[in-house]
Amino acid sequence: MGIPITESGGNVKIYGDGLPGGKGTGLIMINECPIPQAVKIKTRILSTSFYDRFVEMDGEFTVEESDIIRAIVDELDDGPISVRSSATDEAGGREGGGDHLHAGEYRSFMLPNNHPDPGVRYEQVEQAISHIYNDFTGRQSPSSTEKMAILINPIPGILDDTDAGHFYYPCVSGVANSFFPYALKTQDPNDGFARIAFGHGYATILDDFPVVSMATIREPIPLKLLQSGNRQQYFYALNMNWNAALGGDELETMEILHTRFARRSMISLLGIEQNSVTLENLIQDDHFNFRTTLIGIMEAIKARITPHFQIEFVFNLDSPRPDSGEGTFCIVQLTLLPKLQRDAVQIPENAGTTQLSIKNSQGHGITSGIRHAVVVSPFVYSRDRHDEAQQGIAEINRRMREENEKYILIVPGRLGSTNRDWGIFVTYSEVNQAVGIFEYGVDIAGREEPLPEKSSLTGGIYGSHFLYMIQGGRDEEKKRMQTRMYGTQGTHFLTNLVANNIVYGFIAPAEDYLDPWFFSGVDPDAAVSLLTFPLPVTIYADSLHQFCKVIADHDG
């Protein structure tokens, strides 16, 4: 009978009669939206009907399906390609972004696609698809109705023959959000923010080394005024010699290189300082019309699709002259985000005892009846207990989900970071029962955080995920000058928290209040403790004024 093929504007083709998934839906929207400032990436989507058939065939492809995959690879020539997950619960694919959004939860693969034997290239693509399907299936509960589609795209970028080998990467990758909830009073939060990096986009959606943030996009704070986080020393690049069988790790084809291995003539055009990329030429000086074009892209999407969204994009130089105004944007993903609530939250006059009060938070609303707290104590935790803490948090979250219970989580450092020196790595699905997540520094009892790192680039070991932390200052301008930029907004982990309205905050020991009860009941032999409040508590979170309080209910 044949597998049906549906075209969308010529740049998108959908194979099969299933759904295109969240990422696929986003790229279809982008393809149908007039955005003259951006080149629309060629996209081939294996709909969810391929996944259904894969499950029915016990992990095998039919001859017809294999022929379609081969035809797609042939059509995309022999340049690097991405094979990406597009689950139905991923990237806000449902109308309005969905009730529960998942970003970065499932595997994707970047492939060199340059082997002289076409059979090797086809086999690697089929392996990537199989790994995505199997990983997705293994994460689903028995009652899940979610399914998986696959996106296959060419990767826009440049080939660089470095001293470390043959590598391929975009000049710039970025994540940009339409709304910036941490804007200062002199800034417009509707200008949005961006997290950008030299090289491949894994640097922007993960959190394992410092990259550059621009907040807001329209009027970014001059990078030289920032105390930290204004340069990048490492970058992700695709290893063009990786043509072996795939083992299932999505980063196995990627390498992290120092920027000294990159093409010097190119990164000098972007902005460089002592072998570190600053991207200052693009951000501050608008070379190649980078900032102007990004603003135009964001405005076009706001006008035609939705006012609340996140895009992932790449930018490549078309000319070696900064005054030529030539550079090419490609949008590789669109995530629909729910509209953030902006009504002020009122705390009742007869509210009970305050157990936690902070001045830096995201998330909005009132949640009552919380009975549990999950605590990683500074008096117990150390870096060598990372795996124990990670597994403990995930196990408690699993039990809370089975019991339909919510909890608040108190942890050191940047939760979700892949860098163990910065915090504890967990995925969103391992903490999705938490209604409030609160980070503290290494020594919550005494020293101000963040503590300085040796490189002084990230703002400090165990620093918060917050893009802005205002360090003193009596007036707005002085505060602007003393802002620390962390550049972790835009990571997949934070996107999930924001989109699902998880209250999230940083505890500054000199300014905020945390009841010692949270640490008094911990098990000294366990990296993670599950505590039960004497009385249920209510979270009051106000994103408009960026405060959050956890208050115990009255007794009787």
Tell me: pLDDT of 447 over 50. Answer: no
Over residues 277-295, the pLDDT tens digits come to 989 899 888 999 999 999 9
The top-level CATH class assigned to 156-339 is alpha beta
- Bridge partner residues of 175 (DSSP): 195, 312
Residue among 549, 541, 363, 518 nearest 440 (CA): 518
Over residues 382-392, the pLDDT tens digits come to 778 899 999 99
The top-level CATH class assigned to 1-155 is alpha beta
Helix or strand (DSSP H, E) at 255: strand 254-258
The most confident of the ranges 96-110, 203-217, 314-328 is 203-217
85 vs 347, more confident:
85
Tell me: pLDDT of 456 over 50. Answer: no
* Chain centroid, CA 463 distance in Å: 17
Over residues 487-521, the pLDDT tens digits come to 566 677 877 887 788 898 888 777 789 998 998 88
Over residues 9-38, the pLDDT tens digits come to 778 999 999 999 999 999 999 999 989 889
Looking from the CA of 478 toward its CB, the CA atoms found within 13 Å total 5
CB 215 within 8 A of CB 193: yes
pLDDT of residue 91: 58
What are 492's two structure tokens? 């997949």
CB 340 within 8 A of CB 179: yes
Mean pLDDT, rounded, of the chain: 83
pLDDT of residue 321: 62
Q: What is the pTM of this model?
A: 0.83
Tell me: pLDDT of 203 over 70. Answer: yes
For range 181-192, the mean pLDDT:
75
pLDDT of residue 552: 93
Q: Which residues contact 146 (CB under 8 A, 6 or more apart)?
A: 87, 88, 89, 140
What letter does residue 225 receive in the DSSP assignment? G
Return the SS3 of 311.
strand
How far apart are the C-alpha atoms of 30 and 310, rounded to whole Å? 12
Tell me: pLDDT of 186 over 50. Answer: yes
Angle between the N-to-C axes of helices 63-75 and 118-139, in degrees from 0 to 180, rounded to the nearest 10: 120
Q: Where do the domains of the chain lie?
A: 1-155, 156-339, 354-552
479 vs 488, more confident:
488
For range 419-448, the mean pLDDT:
76
How far apart are the C-alpha atoms of 410 and 505, rounded to whole Å? 10
Return the SS3 of 485.
strand
Least confidently predicted of 46-60, 269-283, 316-330, 383-397: 316-330
What are 96's two structure tokens? 């309005």
Q: Where are the beta strands (DSSP E) in 155-233?
A: 158-162, 165-169, 172-177, 193-198, 212-215
